Amino acid sequence: MAVSESLNGGASTSPPPPTPEYGITKPISLSGPTAADFNRNLELEKLLVDSGLYESDEETATRQEVLHRLDQVVKSWVKQLTRMRGYTEQMVEDANAVIFTFGSYRLGVHGPGADIDTLCVGPSYVNREEDFFMILHNILAEMEDVTELHPVPDAHVPVMKFKFQGISIDLLYASISLLVVPEDLDISDGSVLHDVDEPTVRSLNGCRVADQILKLVPNVEHFRSALRCLKFWAKRRGVYSNVTGFLGGVNWALLVARVCQLYPNAIPSMLVSRFFRVYTQWRWPNPVMLCSIEENESGFPIWDPRRNPRDRFHIMPIITPAYPCMNSSYNVSASTLRVMMEQLHHGNRICDEIELNKAQWSTLFQPYIFFDAYKNYLQVDIIAIDAEDLLSWKGWIESRLRQLTLKIERDTNGILQCHPYPHEYVDTSKPCAHSAFFMGLQRKEGVRGQEGQQFDIRGTVDEFRQEINMYAYWKPGMEIYVSHVRRKQLPAFVFPEGYKRTRIPRHMRHSAEKADEDATRCYSGSTERCIKRKNDAEMMDVKPRKPEKRASISPQRLECFSPESCSSRSGGTSQMSIDCIEGVKLDGSTMKDSDSNCQIKSSDGLVRCRISAERLDMQITETGVVDSTICRLKSRSPEVRNESGVNGNKAQDLDLDCLEGVEIAFTKTFTNCKEGALDMDQPLDKAGSFATTADISDYVPSAST
């Protein structure tokens, strides 16, 4: 306590200085680290270093050199354009452009091989469409040190991607309302947004958001270490991908920054543990915000579910702190939120064990075994003639894969759930450029199946393919193949080191079973529909099995056809049919050579997509392993009609029939963890409920509150 001398020679006490507050609520705890926390922090830091998450001094120097050279290139480019536009020599001399960084590099959490997100800010007379994407593009294309140049002008945030001296660069452009851009431009000043369009605002806000995050956290170094750790965890667990519908770098940064605000004196090991503790119980869709939402006379739209109907449908809003404040996680769907919550609960259980000295940090970062998690998968194969065509074709399809997930759940009323996996796989045995993505399929827990219930996603897949085929830059040889495969049919190229059945350690199995027992409530509209999970050990598939190598036993459904056979595109609405050979009994016993080869044909007779959709005994549960839910994929013979002398096949796709259902409790719970209502520095209350979209419409702080 501070002590000062009084006028009469005595001593008087004065109140301590107020504790600085970060964020829109008071901290949950001001507690600092204990000796055990320091020890765990040293162990965590050592693991991050040993995992290769920090780049070498040599690579750091290379990055700085690349940024310096890129800055010189854009300065020369702007001077060249200024002279071409007929400006005076003095204007040519003063003409300038400035390179800013954002993303992981600006936040200081990039690792070896990471790309650098960059922004070029230029004067008002230099435009994006012609000057940036054409003239600067041509300048870069002629440079020997620039490779893999790929412009994406029609993206939500227009970007030019390339490698400069082997360093991946994402370059954005923003033209601000100044004739001369000062070298010391303050990009955080709101005046840079004056008289610019929305793509420019989105381009500028990458840098502005990164700067605000660093200003709003209590300890920048602790924030960086915790964020580096949690990004590593998210990638290992398959939930790091904004384009797929999970969370990207800025989303994870905002979530970690909020935990730093709630625990301002915590060190990184504490922040990681508190991160899982808070977000396993966050009451989505209540928003995560680092500061109040600012309104401005510029009039750009901000995230406000009270005024904007579209904002009411965001189920995991994470709000950016710089004006105009927006939801950075609008890509998240019910499917990806469910997957992320499962992984957060998994991480929370491990952190609890680490604090009890029952587990090591390495356990937290064990990779997620996606191909052991489900019985059934959708396989999306992307094919092009060469690597350059594949790069653009794959980018287009990958940006729309989450739409397939949304469409499937829409058309099955949410009963058939999808788990899109963000990792890309390549079959090097194909004679053409190839890439593949996978989705896990399962029945929603807690929903009783009905005899003969069908999940018909044939039209859904057809609709998705029609949208994909609208690609404006399509070339002959660009093809997409969608297949259903069972776990035992997964191709060998997803197991580059051979397939081995994972075995869950005894203590981990016991912890998981205990967690399931403690969390038997779910949100399914009514608690009466939630029942206890049966046969936990069986559903977790923990029965020890001998390691076995997996060979590819998938039928020949994904042959890489020659460009000549794939060059035509069906016009209008693609008409498809499935021709299937019956071969598998429904009682679980299989007939010899019973693989059903299901081939989708387009109306022009070309093979557009082959589906291995054999009639299966498919058992779909939360974990994708054996349970009493018995389903099958059934393909029915199409009706073939001759209309106006044209032989056309009736459009049909995948047809999923579930014969029998089972009620299973959803074991993951949420707590009523609304912003401003947090009051805990201990394991949070496990009982909770979902918020409705009406809840968030009542809670949008403004600058005046």
Non-local CB neighbours of 57 within 8 Å, separated by 6+ positions = none
117 is catalytic: yes
Structure tokens at 535: 């046969």
Structure tokens at 455: 């999940």
Of the listed 22, 37, 75, 104, which one is catalytic? 104
189 is catalytic: no
Structure tokens at 627: 């349970």
Of the listed 170, 516, 536, 617, which one is catalytic? 170
Query: Is the Cβ–Cβ distance between 31 and 265 less than 8 Å?
Result: yes
119: which strand partners? 100, 172
**Per-residue buried b or exposed e for 370-379, using 16+ beta carbons within 10 Å of the residue's own CB:** bbebbbbbbb
681 is catalytic: no
Of the listed 117, 131, 389, 617, which one is catalytic? 117
Of the listed 240, 368, 374, 481, which one is catalytic? 240
The DSSP call for residue 309 is: G
Residue carrying the six token digits 């002398």: 645
304 is catalytic: no
The DSSP call for residue 326 is: -
Return d(Cα 582, Cα 584) in angstroms, integer. 6
Annotate 25-68 with DSSP letters as a single string. S--S------HHHHHHHHHHHHHHHHTT-S--HHHHHHHHHHHH
The verdict on whether omega for the bond into residue 285 sits within 30 degrees of 0, i.e. cis, is yes
Backbone angles phi, psi at 33, to 5 degrees: -75, 150
115 is catalytic: yes
Of the listed 31, 54, 105, 115, which one is catalytic? 115
Of the listed 75, 79, 231, 668, which one is catalytic? 231
499 is catalytic: no
Angle at 498 between CA 433 and CA 535, to 5 degrees: 115
Nearest in space to 256 (alpha carbons), one of 505, 23, 508, 588: 23
Non-local CB neighbours of 250 within 8 Å, separated by 6+ positions = 103, 206, 209, 210, 320, 328
Query: Is the Cβ–Cβ distance between 653 and 460 less than 8 Å?
Result: yes
What are the residue numbers of the active site?
104, 115, 117, 170, 231, 240
